[in-house]
């Protein structure tokens, strides 16, 4: 079963096409990536798949079932798709301790064992348990992105949407976070849809990729093409 199946997805903002007829499939356990210049529509596709962007046309299947435009995600679907954003500072509430940030999604979904789950999530991303009492401004950029990843993992999603997850970080920290993501994917059997404009990140992470320009997918790359660096020409 495919985890994601997009067929002729189109998204318009005020009559302007942000995404035109985008089609691709992501199989279970894969990392599929979207490459392309700023403004080409990558984040918009992720936002549709996260249920944040609800106005769209075409066909979108998640976990083998069609999703409906205009409809909020709920229940299992909402748990099963999580997103990590580019800027961990903006995506964490500045006045909430990490404890609150991590406990809240569990409460919302009526999940018990909160203390245990939060501690496990912190440990999985390499943060000490006492970090729970800290605020985002007391953390480095890399630590903040670890928290954002921990928050996404708490609900044990099948699909993780990663929108430029390391582009706000220093090179050395970037590598740590990418390796962490690869390890977690293995351990939890997740599927990744990754957005990056960095050809090295794409080559390091992806099984397959698609290159976008101006809302249109121009080319697809398999693992062999990525190893050969064909995506670097685009």
Ligand X SMILES: Nc1ncnc2c1ncn2[C@@H]1O[C@H](COP(=O)(O)OP(=O)(O)O)[C@@H](O)[C@H]1O
Q: Which residues bind Mg ion (CB under 5 A)?
A: 43
Minimum CB separation from ligand X for residue 64, in Å? 26
Cα(103)–Cα(118) distance, integer angstroms: 7
CB nearer to Mg ion: give 18 or 152. Answer: 18
Is residue 13 part of the contact set for ligand X (CB under 6 A)? yes
CA distance 176 to 159: 21
Q: What sign results for the dihedral spanned by CA atoms 180, 193, 207, 170?
A: negative
- Report which of 198, 199, 165, 196 is spatially closest to residue 179, judged by C-alpha positions: 165
Segment near ligand X (CB under 6 A); pick from 39-47, 56-64, 67-75, 172-180: 39-47
What are the structure tokens assigned to 175, written together? 């590598």
The interface mask with ligand X, positions 99-118, x = CB under 6 A, is --------------------
Is residue 38 part of the contact set for ligand X (CB under 6 A)?
A: yes
**Partner interacting with residue 44 (select from Mg ion, ligand X, none; CB below 5-8 Å by kind):** ligand X
Please say whether the beta carbons of 193 and 162 come within 8 A.
yes
- Span of 37-45, 91-99, 140-148, 168-176 interacting with ligand X by CB under 6 A: 37-45
Q: Of 212, 211, 152, 203, which is closest to residue 178 (Cα–Cα)? A: 203
44 binds ligand X (CB under 6 A): yes
Q: Which of 149, 158, 145 is nearest to 188 (CA)?
A: 158
Contact region with ligand X (CB under 6 A), list: 36-44, 58-66, 69-77, 94-102: 36-44
Give the binding site for ligand X (CB under 6 A).
Answer: 13, 18, 36, 38-44
């Amino acid at each position: 079963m495919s985890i994601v199946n997009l067929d002729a997805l189109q998204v318009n903002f005020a009559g302007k096409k942000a995404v035109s007829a985008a089609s691709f499939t992501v199989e279970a356990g894969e990392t599929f990536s979207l490459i392309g210049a700023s403004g080409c529509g990558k984040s918009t596709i992720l936002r549709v798949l996260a249920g944040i962007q609800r106005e769209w046309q075409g066909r979108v299947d998640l976990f083998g079932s069609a999703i409906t435009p205009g409809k909020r995600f709920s229940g299992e679907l909402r748990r099963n798709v999580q997103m990590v954003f580019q800027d961990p500072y903006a995506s964490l509430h500045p006045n909430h301790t990490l404890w609150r940030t991590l406990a809240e999604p569990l409460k919302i979904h009526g999940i018990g064992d909160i203390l245990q789950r939060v501690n496990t999530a912190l440990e999985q991303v390499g943060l000490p348990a006492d970090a729970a009492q800290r605020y985002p401004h007391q953390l480095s950029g890399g630590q903040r992105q670890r928290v954002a990843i921990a928050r996404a993992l708490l609900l044990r999603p099948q699909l993780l949407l990663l929108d430029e997850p390391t582009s706000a970080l220093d090179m050395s920290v970037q590598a740590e976070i990418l390796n962490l993501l690869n390890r977690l994917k293995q351990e939890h059997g997740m599927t990744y849809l990754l957005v990056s404009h960095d050809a090295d990140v794409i080559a390091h992470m992806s099984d397959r990729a698609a290159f976008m320009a101006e809302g249109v997918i121009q080319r697809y790359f398999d693992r062999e093409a990525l190893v050969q660096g064909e995506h670097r020409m685009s």
